[in-house]
Structure 1
Amino acid sequence: MEHPISVRSAGGDAGVDFSLNVSGYLQQFRVSLEALEDHFGLPIDHDEEAQVRAFHDGAQRICAVAKKKPHVPGNNRVVLVSDDF
């Protein structure tokens, strides 16, 4: 499994940001709070620490989905939403 890099809350209700090496390039990703709530057990009344914990609990699946998303050139972030899972 690829290991995510720089996992952190995106702040507020934005989700969790992380980076992943995909095909030799470092790609920026964000997994939405909706996806974390719907698929990874994040409670609705959460804090930023709980967001990151939910990410780590589902990291293997999140990274697998992220690697299948189309790459975005440059520093643009690919957003993973609930429908991606």
Structure 2
Amino acid sequence: METVQIEPSISPDRRAVIFVLSLREKDHECSITREALEQHFWLQPGASEARILRTFNDGRKRIFAVAERKLLANPGGRVVVTASDFGTRR
């Protein structure tokens, strides 16, 4: 399976990062919550948009792996990666 990144963006309410996961020749809009980035990728509360995107990029491989698993488990559903998708809380 091949994943291709299209530039991520911050949701209008700043509570998530929206990204595209390409899987089986189809693009799927996905997102990861800011809470997940704070709990599992050390994003500081109140971080700038640039810092949020940098944190997302730093954890991109793990985030994409989780999103891909969720997409394969529910092919037609919307993928939202949350803190609980990464197991135990820090």
Q: TM-score, normalised by structure 2?
A: 0.80
Larger radius of gyration: 2
Is there any run of 5+ residues in structure 1 with no aligned partner, and where?
none
- List structure 1 segments (4+ residues) > 4 angstroms apart after TM superposition: none
Deviations, residues 17-41 of structure 1 (Å, cap 9, x unaligned): 0001112210000100000001111
Larger RCO of the pair (alpha carbons < 8 Å, separation 6+): 1
* TM-score scaled by length of structure 1: 0.84
Q: How many residues align?
A: 82
- Kept in 2, the 8 Å contact 1:2–1:20? The answer is yes
* Superposed displacement of residue 5, structure 1: 1.2
C-alpha RMSD of matched pairs (Å): 1.6
Aligned to 1:6: 7
1:72 aligns with 2:62: no
1:53 is aligned with what amino acid? R
The separation in 2 between residues aligned to 1:64 and 1:58, in whole angstroms, is 10
